[in-house]
Amino acid sequence: MKERILLCGNEAIGEGAIQAGCQFYAGYPITPQNELTAYMARRMNEEGRVFIQSESEISAINMVFGASLAGARAMTSSSSPGISLKQEGISYLVGCELPAVIINIMRGGPGLGNIAPSQADYFQATKGGGHGDYHTIVLAPSSVEEAFSLTFLAFDLADLYRNPVIILGDGVLGQMMEPVSQIQNSRPKVKNYSKDWILNGCRGRNPRIIRSLLLGEGELEKHNQRLQKKFKEIKEKEVRFEALYLEDADFILVSYGTVSRICKAVVSNLRSLGKKIGLIRPVSLWPFPEEIIKKTAKRLKGILVVEMSAGQMLEDVKISVEGACPVYFYGRMGGGVPTEEEIFKQVIAL
Amino acid sequence: MAYIKIDKEKCKGCLLCVVNCPKGLIVQDEEISIRGVEMVSFQDKDNECSGCAFCALMCPDVCIEVYR
Amino acid sequence: MEKTFSRPKSMRNVVMHYCAGCGHGIVHRLICEVIDEFKIREKTIAIAPVGCAVLAYDYWDFDTTESAHGRAPAVATGIKRILPDRIIFTYQGDGDLAAIGTAEIIHTANRGENITVIFVNNAVYGMTGGQMAPTTILGQKTETTPWGREPKSDGYPLKISEMLSLLPGVVYIERTAVNNAKNVLLTKRAIKKAFLNQIENKGFSLVEVLSSCPTYWHMSPVEAMKWIDTEMTKYYPLGVIKNNC
């Protein structure tokens, strides 16, 4: 019988990073992501790599900044309040075009909030919680298996585009355990990316400078234009989503992460009742899957967006739909998790 | 015995060399540099300069070379 | 006749943006002299602060990055852990190190990271127009203490170097000044020792350099250098604060 590896989401993310060749991890305690920090403390040392528990989330992201510019795959993780502290660092990473992976296991907010799951950091992650025009790639797993694979992918995308990538999980995903079939003895091959830009001492080359301060006339604007070109390319190439029953659906749910699993149950339930209902689950929250939603909306009676928030992805759905059909919303805030029955009733009522 | 050369383009006229030269061999004169700064110049008629480099040590803009 | 003093190789031959008489230029030169003497230009990675010296990478001829305000020690930690055989140093001002970056410098020192920190203390925030810094002297007038720093509302000048010396991970801290030729030579000696400690994997070293800010002390460069002796060293005495190696 094949060995089944059972991990919680936080650990799966950690193992995803380890197998992706993450050389440097800095973290700080915060619920509900503590299992990840603990996992990395043990596993990174086992692998002979660098683990640091830093004095704050701010110093952790700046340590990642240093490790990344020195050429290492680097990651930090936290939960909502801690991610707020990292926003300046994330903006610097984008400005300096440095790869990094940032994990946010979201919890209830605002403020200290609670430690229940939430999706209320969607805006912060996808619209940029830091300063300046920038984007991070944002990937949202909905299973422990996907938490592993998307973290692995995040390191490739970060290196490919030299840009930070955020994994947006939540307290449920982080804490629940599921088998992760992808973890076998043979590890997936880690791709190499050109590191001809890093700072490792100028032996045999001219000295390099990595900075985001550009004071010269028009210099920063040119830099921004280059970044926008990068974001355009990412939008064209890195959209990821899952779609169910779009062929005949006349109504769909749009939801991501943990909530999308609840919505899948509602969809199958309603379909068994003969309702032509479908689902779109964005996997990349940025770049947002606008095209599929825009195309599908034209033949729909309506869309119900379901989130653990006051409605944030809702706005991106509305932008994509451009009024082609009504867009409704159902959400729970402050760590509340919508139940299958609640969503079911919402759909029936529409 | 020894002498110094002053890079007139980089001098900002801070006069730290003037006050730190133990023998007062550097003076501020009327010549205005391209930076609009009253220049300093090395005047050592009696060849007193010992090459101690105090002036160079104190120059924030690395304008002074010392020869000995 | 032989040239006995000239611009160090690892210092770019450009005009620096610093004000006339600013001590940064001297400290920059001393670092480059030490790097030349140890022949480590090709192994050195510097972290410039946010502050007047943010443009240091235009003056140094070796790999340099620029960290967020106060975070240089964290960035240095990340680099050093990944490239332990390279020479990493942060160059920080008093606001950068002893105000916003206090947590980073304390914990980096407490971890005994094998890096070198050059801490330039000129008692004000220069780049932003001369505001009070953690090291502003009592009674000193600044943009934000127009009637002079007053303990009840502004607290006391922070003795960060003395605080850091309590940490076991710290092997060497010295406070010097660049206000006269003798002190410049002592500063160079201290910087040299701090870099040697790193080369010999001894642990965390920091050199605090009292430096002048004529513009925001509202003095001439010559008076500013004197003020360091008459006022600053009263509160910030020069000398070795810790030396475990």
What is the set of domains in chain C, with CATH numbers?
A: 24-243 (3.40.50.970)
> Residue B7's closest chain C neighbor by CA?
C15
For A216, the token pair is: 């010269």
Q: Cβ separation of C6 and B20 shorter than 8 Å? A: no
Q: Do A5-237 and A242-349 agree at the fold level? A: yes
Asked if A212 has any chain C CB less than 8 Å from its own CB, the reply is yes
Report yes or no on chains A and B touching (3+ CB pairs under 8 A).
no
Q: Which helix (H) or strand (E) holds B30?
A: strand B26-32
**Separation between Cα atoms, residue A173 and residue A11, nearest integer Å:** 11
> Residue C12's closest chain B neighbor by CA?
B62
pLDDT reported for residue A4: 80
Q: Which of A294, A290, A270 lies closest to A282, judged by CA? A: A290
Q: Provide the shortest C-alpha distance from residue B37 to chain C (in Å).
A: 10
Partnered with residue A164 across adjacent β-strands are A100
Q: Cβ separation of C78 and A66 shorter than 8 Å? A: yes
Q: Greatest CA span in chain C, whole angstroms? A: 59
pLDDT reported for residue A202: 97
CATH number of A5-237: 3.40.50.970
What's the DSSP call for residue C97?
I
**Separation between Cα atoms, residue A333 and residue A338, nearest integer Å:** 9
Q: Which of C160, C212, C201, C207 lies closest to C186, judged by CA? A: C207
Q: Provide the shortest C-alpha distance from residue B42 to chain C (in Å).
A: 16
pLDDT in tens, B6-21: 999 899 999 999 999 9
Helix, strand, coil in percent for chain A, rounding step 5: 40, 20, 40
Which whole number is the average pLDDT over B48-59? 97
Q: Give the residue ranges of chain C where pLDDT is below 50.
A: none
Per this entry, what is the length of chain A? Answer: 350
Q: Provide the shortest C-alpha distance from residue A131 to chain C (in Å).
A: 13
The answer to whether the beta carbons of residues A137 and A165 sit under 8 Å apart is yes
What residue ranges do the domains of chain A occupy? 5-237, 242-349
The dihedral sign for the CA sequence A255, A257, A258, A264 = positive
For A37, the token pair is: 């920090």
> Residue B53's closest chain C neighbor by CA?
C5
Residue type, C88: I
Asked if C53 has any chain B CB less than 8 Å from its own CB, the reply is no
pLDDT reported for residue A1: 58
Q: Cβ separation of B65 and C3 shorter than 8 Å? A: yes
The dihedral sign for the CA sequence C218, C219, C221, C226 = negative
pLDDT reported for residue B18: 97
CATH number of A242-349: 3.40.50.920
Asked if C60 has any chain B CB less than 8 Å from its own CB, the reply is no
Q: Provide the shortest C-alpha distance from residue A38 to chain C (in Å).
A: 19
Residue type, A203: R
Q: Which of A340, A43, A12, A309 lies closest to A173, judged by CA? A: A12
Helix (H, G, I), strand (E, B), or coil: what is residue C5?
strand
Partners of C23 on chain B (C-beta within 8 Å) are 60
Partners of C115 on chain A (C-beta within 8 Å) are none
Report yes or no on chains C and A touching (3+ CB pairs under 8 A).
yes
Q: Cβ separation of A209 and C54 shorter than 8 Å? A: no
Q: Give the residue ranges of chain A where pLDDT is below 70.
A: 1-2
